Amino acid sequence: MAELEIDYKKIAKNINQFKLNKEKIIAVVKNNAYNMDLEDSIRTMYQTGIRYFATTSLNEAISIRKILKDVDIFLINPTYKFEEVKKYDIEINISSLNYLKENYENLSGLKLHMEYAGFMNRSGVKNLEEAIEVIKFSNENNLILKALWCHFAHADEFDGNYEIEKSRILNIYEELCKIHKFEVKHFQNSASYLRDGIFEIASHIRPGIMLYGAYPYDVKKNPTKEVYKPYQTFEVRAKVLNIRELDKNDSIGYCNSYIANKKTCVAIADIGYGDGILRSRLTGKTCIINGREYEILSVMMSHIVVEIDKDVKIGDQVIIYNDNLPIYSYNKYCNSNSEQMAVLNKNSLHVIKKY
């Protein structure tokens, strides 16, 4: 049975690299902590000194509160379950000026975050004028406007758009701080923090993928201000189930997915796309067996076919992900770090946890 090993000590190692007080970190733990398991992840983060968490799910926000009583929790997605967020002391997002005006009576007593929409444009105020109106309406109705935030849509790209995004929110803040004192200002995701360090005006950063051990962009091609060496939180491994000798023109896999162009020795390992490993990660890429890289020739739901030599035996371990085959190295070939993590199938993989 293929295995997924999650190492929570590596989450702590990643966090301890941040050169700022851990209480300045709002840890993004959405989607079951990027599929690394919410409870174990937040307990680990708490031990490092983190006291602020963010998620898109109200159920997850409530789960965090039940586990940790003395932390701040920010619910990113808009909600209409006002009694629940009051009961569990969860901070919520102002998704639009209309949302604020239509629900202001229910928002009384809640801690509110005003979002600047920016290029992401999923929610939030569109411009300075709307932001000023939110502040005035909140003050007139005695609402608790605690935070200003945004999400940079282009922080992991180097096409000039990030600089535009950054300039706009910094200019807006400069005007807004003249009329309102925000207790919390959080603008930067992992990529923005890695590029710029924490903004002078910011009270917090809001990292996601860096907590779990991945570069948010290609650091070999693009500069970083902050020093960061990712420790990948998880390892995925399988075993060699069988070894086959293929003659020239022999096929293997669905629909002759691989046809040998010469006499070839192959191993069949017990892992495939059904275990939540993206085809684009496997097809034509490599795995590690006995410390050496071997090419993956064919991918099936529960198996892969790997070209091997005489040094590989039945029962040998086949590494798909580890620190030597990190998720971020596959972004240019297939999908983002978070996509590769999100699909890992814990129903078919044997999950091992290290603390």
Q: What is the pLDDT of residues 277-313, one digit of tens each?
A: 999 999 999 999 999 999 999 999 999 999 999 999 9
Mean pLDDT on 40-50: 98
- Span 132-155, mean pLDDT? 97
Say if residue 269's pLDDT is above 90.
Answer: yes
Q: Is 291 exposed, middle or buried (0-12, 13-18, 19+ CB in 10 A)?
A: exposed
Instruction: Give the pLDDT confidence score for residue 226 in this predicted structure.
Output: 93
pLDDT at 274: 98
Residue 36 has pLDDT above 70, yes or no: yes
* Catalytic residue (one of 80, 254, 333, 355): 254
pLDDT tens, residue by residue, 81-136? 999 999 999 999 999 999 999 999 999 999 999 999 999 899 999 999 999 999 99
Supply the pLDDT for residue 223: 84
Q: What is the pLDDT of residue 137?
A: 98
Annotation says 66 is catalytic:
no
Q: Residue 333: what pLDDT? A: 65
Round to whole Å and give the CA distance between 25 and 9: 18
The helix (run of H) or strand (run of E) holding residue 269 is strand 264-269
334 pLDDT exceeds 70? no
13 catalytic, yes or no? Answer: no
Please give the average per-residue pLDDT across 47-73, as a whole number. Answer: 98
The residue type of 41 is S
Amino acid at 63: S
Give this prediction's pTM.
Answer: 0.95
Average pLDDT over residues 36-62: 98
- Span 166-194, mean pLDDT? 96
Asked if 117 and 96 touch (Cβ cutoff 8 Å), the reply is no
The DSSP output letter for 23 is G
In this predicted model, which residue has the larger pLDDT, 336 or 182? 182
The angle formed by the CA atoms of residues 301, 306 and 311, to the nearest 5 degrees, is 140
CB 4 within 8 A of CB 351: yes
pLDDT score of 331: 80
Q: Which of 10, 30, 111, 285 is catalytic?
A: 30
Mean pLDDT of 4-8: 98
Query: In whole numbers, what is the pLDDT of the chain averaged over residues?
Result: 96
Q: Is the pLDDT at 332 greater than 80, yes or no? A: no
Average pLDDT over residues 169-191: 96
Helix (H, G, I), strand (E, B) or coil at 94: strand
Handedness of CA 93, 95, 100, 105 (dihedral sign): negative
